[in-house]
Structure formats: C-alpha cells, structure tokens
Structure 1
C-alpha cells in the first residue's frame, strides 16, 4: 500500500464562510486527501447557508464546530485580526489548522499560535499557496544549487487596484492595507529563497516606504537584506503592479512570469537568461490550495506539527517583518 493510499480522508471544517473560503473549498475538491465536512461562523445561519451550498454535512457556530469529534482539521478564512483567536481555539480543541495568511498582524499573537501548536502537538500551517508545487520546488533548487552562481537580488511585487476603497481592505480595525493582504507574498518568497540559499531568514532593513489611503497602507515598498541577498519588494491595493518577479544570480538572471499564479493554478514557467542565451523551464501546475490541504493531511498522518514548505521559522520571520513594515507605514 502506498503512502497516498494509506492516508485516511481528512475531514475539514471551514471557519468563516467568505470568498476566500469558497476558493479553499474549490481547492479541497481537487485535493487527494481532504473533504469538506463542516462549516463554522459567528452566525449559525450563514454557516448553514454555506454548508448547504457546498455540500458540507454539518454547520454551526465556531464553538459548536470546534466541539465536534468528527472534524480533523480547520481552515481559518476570517479577517486577519481574528486569526489568532480562532487558530488557538481550534488547536486546543485538537484540530490541525490551516490559517490564511498572515497568521496574525502581530508577532506576539503569532508566537501564541505556535506555542499552542507545540504544546498540544497539532499541525499548524500558515496558508501561503505559493509555497507548493513544482514551480516553488524548482525555485528552491535554483537558489540552492549553485548552477547559476550565488543569488544576489530578488525583485517582486504584488498589487491590484481595489477600485472601491471600502470594506475590509480599507478598514484599519481588521488589519486592512496592502502589506498584510498581499505584501506578505513577495516577503514570504524572499524568505523562502534566502533559506534555500543558506542565507539568514531574519533580514536587516534598508528602507520602508508607504502611502496611506483611508487610514491604511494603500501602497508600500521595502528593501531588505538577507546576508548578501537583497530583496526589493512592493505591494498595493490601489494600483496594479507587475506580477513578474526577477531573481538575479552571479552568473544569470531568472525571470518569473506570473510569479504568484492564481488560486486555482500554480505558475508554470521560469526563464533563465545567461547573456544572450535564454532557457525556458516549463513545470507542471498544481491546484495550490488543494496542495496546502494535502500538506496538512500528510502532517497529520505522519505525526508532524510543521509542514516543510512553510516551516514555523518562516512564519515567525515573516510576522516580524510585516509588523515592522506596517508599523513604519502607519507611523508615517
């Protein structure tokens, strides 16, 4: 019997029946080892409606769902400021947790989550879909391999025009702003590349910049150094930014078209340029949210509390930078 065949289906509960949770359910259907079983919300009525729409067997309030013994794992898809409380409650109820990024707006709350996961010995994964699949694996191999020389610089941005400056993205009370919502993606990739290359993952800061819109960081940029690897990253919720990343090595440049992929497909292409020579690397795509769910299933089956694609050390490093970057932005 293979490992895939021997893993029982993970019975998932979704906490927070919003749009991101709808996307997670799509990913869960594409996963090999997960199934939607329950839906929890602060409103039992909203939970029931979501459960009916997506075919979940059970629904109820958060407390009702976390008290169930037929739930193995929970997906936390609520607003940023509620992540820590729900993740900790779920862990203490004996569930594995996949928590949407960022794990929390503050480093102190992230530490509370991870301390709880360690104490109760249940898996916790911060949901960075970009960490999963052949594209992410190939990038790590290039950063680690030495084939292209030492990695020297990463440039990446994630930004979109929200058009209407309302709702959670522009609400400071729920952690609105570009840095927490999408700036975390280029930061997380920079940390991943630094780790793969054997560089420190806790960077030094060269600069933070931001523009406030409606009391939140509408745009922001940062320059960080991971030892001798420099990362220049940018983010926005008021402007569409290029989704092409560039990783510069001593002897080559790797261009990353569509570096973030989508919620249904991971990126499929890397372009390696050495002088006038250009080599296109095509890689298979995966359903990245389904891959996250399967990573939690493997951790449960193997008795691990961490997932290697997104270890807790990376969650801690990202939380520190996000808090400092956002703090600098809001301080003006």
Structure 2
C-alpha cells in the first residue's frame, strides 16, 4: 500500500499532537514541515524525524508531498489551505476550517477547482464511538432522536495568548464550541433531519474582546440541540442524547487527542446498559480517512462531508457575530 507523504504546516502544539497521531496511522508518514520561519520548521522536523523542512512556499512546491495538515491559527487556515490545494495537495485542516462562512466557501471552491480532497479535522467524527452514535440516531431502536445536550469548556487560567486575541480568531466558540455543534449536525443528519438549523437563542459572556462563554439553542427540524462552550470555565464533558423512548448518556464525549471515547450508557424503561467500544487514535483515524479519499479519487470524506463543514461554518459565523455584538 502506498503511504501518504504528509507535510505539517505550522509547527505548534496541535501539530505536535497530530504528528504523534500520525505514528499510529496505517496509511501515512510525516515527510516534511513548513513554517513562516524556516528555522522553526527545521527544528520541528529534526525533533520529529521529518526528511524535509522549509518555508510554506518551499514545502508546497515539493512534488514529494501528497497531503498537508494545516495546524496554524484559525485566521490563516483559508489562505494556507487554498495555496496547498492549488499546489495539488490534499488538505486536512484543523477545525474550524475558517472563522467565517465566506472563507470556508473559498476553500471548498478551491478544492473543487483543483480536484483535491479537503477535510476539516474534527477528530470526534472518527472511530467506533462516532459510528455507534450515528447508528443509534438512524436506527429507530430507541425511538426518534429528539434532543442533544452537550458542552465543551475549560478554564484557560490566563486571559492572554491566542485564545484571548481577537486578531487570530480567539474565543470559545471557534476553539471548542465547534465540537458540540459538529456533533449536533452529525446526529441531525443521521436522524434524517435538516443540517442547517434554525436559531432559537444565542447567549454569550465576553472575556475582554472575545467570547469567553457562549450558549446556543438550535432547531434541526424535529431534532433540537442545546450546546455550550467556554475558555474561562470548566464545563461538564458528559453529553446527553434524548430519544422518544430512551436517554443516552455519553461520558467523556469528546475523548482526547490520543484516544476516542469508549462508552455509551443507554437508559430505557428503568433499565440501564453500557456499551463498551474499541478505542482508536482519532488523529490517526482522520489522517487515514483523507489518505483513503486520495487513494479512491474522492474529494470528500463521508464522516465529515463538505455539507457539514458548510453548515457548521454558517452557525459559527452567526453565533460568534451575535456574541461579539451583544
């Protein structure tokens, strides 16, 4: 099997986690590192055993790079992703694909023109846990899915740095609020409901010039979602999915950057059963999904299709605008 030769663009903390995940990949290997600073790229490449390094232009000009992982700050995603696509590379771009729906449309248009795959890197979309949730939402065993309640929030401790800098898309909504939103969209799609929701309510509390906490109430046809996020407060990582005939509890619903979630608790008619699921390295799984798309000549990955990226981008754009304007 031909290995995908990966380049990392942006040698930061999230890219280190991706490289760790890539070591568990079945289809890919780290080959190159690109940065705005050739010196930083070289140091990261030496640390992680990549054969090549250089500036972004240096790496995108290479014909021995098949795919790139964009791990830079949110506001640089679109330009880097588009440059990579136009250079003939497949692109795995950290979430959110970009801070606005207009920028996301630019990326997807570039992917369509270049006929190269593009995947927004929602690691939570991959593995047995994600598959099991889709099956429950689609299967009818528990009655119709009616509502999802979930949050992703933590106290960053400091009020400085990337998370609190509006110039680089700081704030809770873009950084981690996208996770419960993406799950709500996935469940709505599995349940046969529309994925572009109506807005019932947006709420937010600012931390300086960015959204520190935020909540949204969304309506996907007959399926609703209450989601919350924060970078100034620890929020519960237990999700709840309510069906007509049961309640499903999702402990540690987001997993980690090294392990997917493994447990689903189904409560029905006074009884409770626990479903144990195999764990995967989620960043390896998303990388392999893009590699498979390349091998099969597809532009999209079914676990995170472009329609879901568009739907998430629209809500993130509107939710964040409402948060910042009060």
Q: Same fold (TM over 0.5)?
A: yes
Structure-2 residue corresponding to 1:295? 289
> Which residue number in structure 2 is paired with residue 24 of structure 1?
18
Q: Show the 5 A alignment for 1:239-254.
A: 239-254=233-248
How far does residue 276 in structure 1 lie from its aligned partner after superposition? 1.3
Moved over 3 A (4+): none
Query: 252, 256, 262: which is aligned to 1:258?
Result: 252
Q: Distance in 2 between matches of 1:158 and 1:201?
A: 20
Query: What are the Cα deviations for residues 22-47 of structure 1, in whole angstroms up to 9, with x where unaligned?
Result: 00000000010110000000000000
Distance across 2 between alignment mates of 1:275 and 1:26 = 43
CA distance in structure 2 between the partners assigned to 1:237 and 1:59 by the alignment? 33
Q: Distance in 2 between matches of 1:106 and 1:137?
A: 28
Q: Secondary structure at the match of 2:50?
A: coil
1:278 is aligned to: 272
Shift of 1:20: 0.0
CA distance in 1, matches of 2:61, 2:163: 31
- Structure 2 segments unaligned to the other structure (5+ residues): none
In structure 1, what is the equivalent of residue 180 of structure 2?
A: 186
Unpaired segments of 5 or more residues in structure 1?
1-6
Q: Secondary structure at the match of 1:30?
A: coil
Secondary structure of the residue aligned to 1:306 is: coil
Partner of 2:120: 126
Output the CA distance in 2 between the equivalents of 1:285 and 1:197.
24
Query: Aligned pair 1:198/2:216, yes or no?
Result: no
Give the CA deviation at 1:214: 1.4
Which deviations, in whole Å up to 9, do the C-alpha atoms of 1:154-190 show, x marking residues without a partner?
Answer: 0000000000011110000000000000000000000
2: distance between equivalents of 1:135 and 1:67?
38
1:82 equivalent in alignment to 2:76: yes
Cα drift, residue 215 of structure 1: 0.5
Match of 1:102 among 96, 99, 103: 96
Post-superposition offset of 1:212: 0.4
- Out of 110, 120, 138, the position equivalent to 1:116 is 110
**1:168 aligned onto 2:162:** yes
Aligned residue number for residue 224 of structure 2:
230
Calculate the TM-score normalised by the size of structure 2. 1.00
Residue in 2 aligned with 1:68? Answer: 62
- Is 2:322 aligned against 1:331? no
Partners of 1:79 and 1:215 in 2: CA distance:
17
CA deviation vs aligned residue, 1:89-109 (integer Å, no higher than 9, x gap): 000000000000000001011
SS of the residue corresponding to residue 47 of structure 1 reads helix
1:261 aligned counterpart, secondary structure: coil
Q: What SS does structure 2 have at the residue aligned with 1:64?
A: helix
Partner of 1:177: 171
- Per the TM alignment, residue 86 of structure 1 is displaced from its structure 2 partner at its CA by 0.1
2:130 equivalent to 1:136: yes
Q: Aligned partners of 1:186 and 1:294: how far apart in 2?
A: 23
Structure 2 residue 117 is matched with structure 1 residue 154: no
TM-score, with structure 1 as normaliser:
0.98
Mapped partners of 1:52, 1:157: distance in 2: 38
How far the C-alpha of 1:275 sits from its partner, in A, is 2.6
Q: Secondary structure at the match of 1:85?
A: helix
What is the count of residue pairs matched by the alignment? 326
- CA drift of 1:278 comes to 0.3
